[in-house]
Amino acid sequence: MDLLTGLVSTADGPGDGPRAITVADQAISRGELLARADRLAADLTGARAVAVRASADLDTIVTVVAGLRAGVPVVPIAHDAGPAERDHILRDSGADVIRAAGTWQDVSLPAIADTGPVSDPPGAPALVMYTSGTTGAPKGVLIPDRAIAACLDGLAESWGWTADDHLVHGLPLFHVHGLVLGVLGALRRGCALTHTGRPTPEAYAAAAGRGGSLFFGVPTVWSRLVADPTSAAALRGARALVSGSAPLPVSVFESLRTLTGVAPLERYGMTETLITVSTRVDGERRPGSVGLPITGVETRLRDDDGVVIGNDGTTIGTLEVRGTTLGHGYLGRPDATSASLTDDGWFITGDSAVIGEDGMHRIVGRTSVDIIKCGGFKVGAGEVEAAIAELAGVTEVAVIGAPDDDLGESIVAVVVTDGAVAAERIIDHVAGTLSVHKRPRRVVLVDELPRNALGKVQKRELLRQITEEGS
């Protein structure tokens, strides 16, 4: 299917211009983007998958569009991924082409067994996006173009998103939020896009001055914006401010409304399902609520015994979703794919939620303590623990997410050492081998970890100790 309909239909048309797509200090028209992508697509045709070092730049966007136009799965990798994370993704995805401006020029593709094409049950996925689980290395989610189209069209309907919008954000281009919504969304709608490079309050204010109408951010972006009232006031004329990827604190919602005059829209999703629930531009925007299922999506709550819970506004259950936006499971991991689905085919999100009689959804937490959301990035405790455990001198480690006013949760590593490992060394090791956003923000050196009778680390107890100690 043609996913990028807005790009194709508006390229070189009346609404196009040399700054239609702007990324930090680079700009390009939609016509030129399409021409460059199609030249690259001709070279990519027949490739198994193309891995791209996803920095915030036009090269990344050109490569993603080229892969989509050539029907070659695109594998975005964090621009700051260290060797362990990068090589895992290259090997696991089976990418046979790598596009990496700058520092990765010399990276060679790992030898891979010829396992045939990267496959998605009915054909090649458009994207393979890596996401962390509770344990192990990140898994590649197979995302078909139909799911992307359904998600983007459902959100367009919820938000009144059209070609007349001018989308602004500064989010990373290796996750769903920044890449699928933030780039492919603009290209499907055919609207102007300004990527600010970094999502700073000053950059969002400047983009508002250049006609930005629709702004995306994770809660950390919005809480930093409201801490800078002058920049926030620049967004007064915005048509919509959208928050997602982590819970938006009610206080930040209220400050945004006061400082900008715009009540934010909130939407909820996952890499595996894309965006499934959102508040509507023509509906109620209730602080603390992520709204209603978008077109094509159904949700339900089940309790620990698997019994479906009615939408009563008070009973908490595990949220399950099904519908047109769902991906096709994890690449090469039929075990994990089937564990993520119920017997009757619903995807188990792992988020705890409440649904009101009016259908409004409230996310109240996660079922696993081993998934941390830091600045909107999902980080698996097990992956960070494995990286830290490699260091000589580390004898035991437990990684937890501690509540944090700026980041939502901050990554804390609680470590037992033989006395010769400095906290900075631990932080730098994670930043350098995995990626910078997975680094612990704090290392607590202890003599022993609290364990239960079976020897399992008691993370909730550890979290209580750390939180009390820090307060």
- Interaction site with ligand MLC (CB under 6 A): 171-172, 175-178, 199, 218, 220-221, 244-245, 269-271, 375-378, 427-428, 431, 436-437, 439
Residue 323, contacted partner among ligand MLC, ligand AMP, none, CB below 5-8 A by kind? none
| Residue 176 binding ligand AMP, by CB under 6 A | yes
User: Cβ closer to ligand AMP: 6 or 269?
Assistant: 269
C-alpha to C-alpha distance for 435 and 135, rounded to whole angstroms: 17
Residue 190, contacted partner among ligand AMP, ligand MLC, none, CB below 5-8 A by kind? none
Decide if 272 contacts 347 (C-beta within 8 A).
yes
Residue 22, contacted partner among ligand MLC, ligand AMP, none, CB below 5-8 A by kind? none
Alpha-carbon separation of residue 263 from 44, 199, 290, 358, 460 (angstroms): 44, 19, 13, 20, 35
DSSP 316: -
- List the one residue from 75, 124, 270, 412 that touches ligand AMP (CB under 6 A): 270
Q: Give least dist CB 177 to ligand AMP, A.
A: 8
- List the one residue from 170, 201, 244, 291 that touches ligand AMP (CB under 6 A): 244
Nearest CA to 377 out of 415, 411, 402 is that of 411
User: Cβ closer to ligand AMP: 10 or 278?
Assistant: 278
Alpha helices in 46-194 (DSSP H): 58-70, 83-93, 145-159, 185-189
Identity of residue 86: R
Pattern of binders to ligand AMP over 376-405, x per CB under 6 A? --x---------------------------
| Residue 276 binding ligand AMP, by CB under 6 A | no
| Residue 247 binding ligand AMP, by CB under 6 A | yes
Closest chain position to ligand AMP (CB): 378
C-alpha to C-alpha distance for 45 and 40, rounded to whole angstroms: 9
Q: Give least dist CB 309 to ligand AMP, A.
A: 18
R_g of the chain, CA atoms, integer Å: 22
| Residue 351 binding ligand AMP, by CB under 6 A | yes
Identity of residue 164: D
Q: How many CB atoms lie within 10 A of CB 415?
A: 25
Q: Give least dist CB 229 to ligand AMP, A.
A: 24
What is the CA angle 434-218-286, rounded to 5? 145
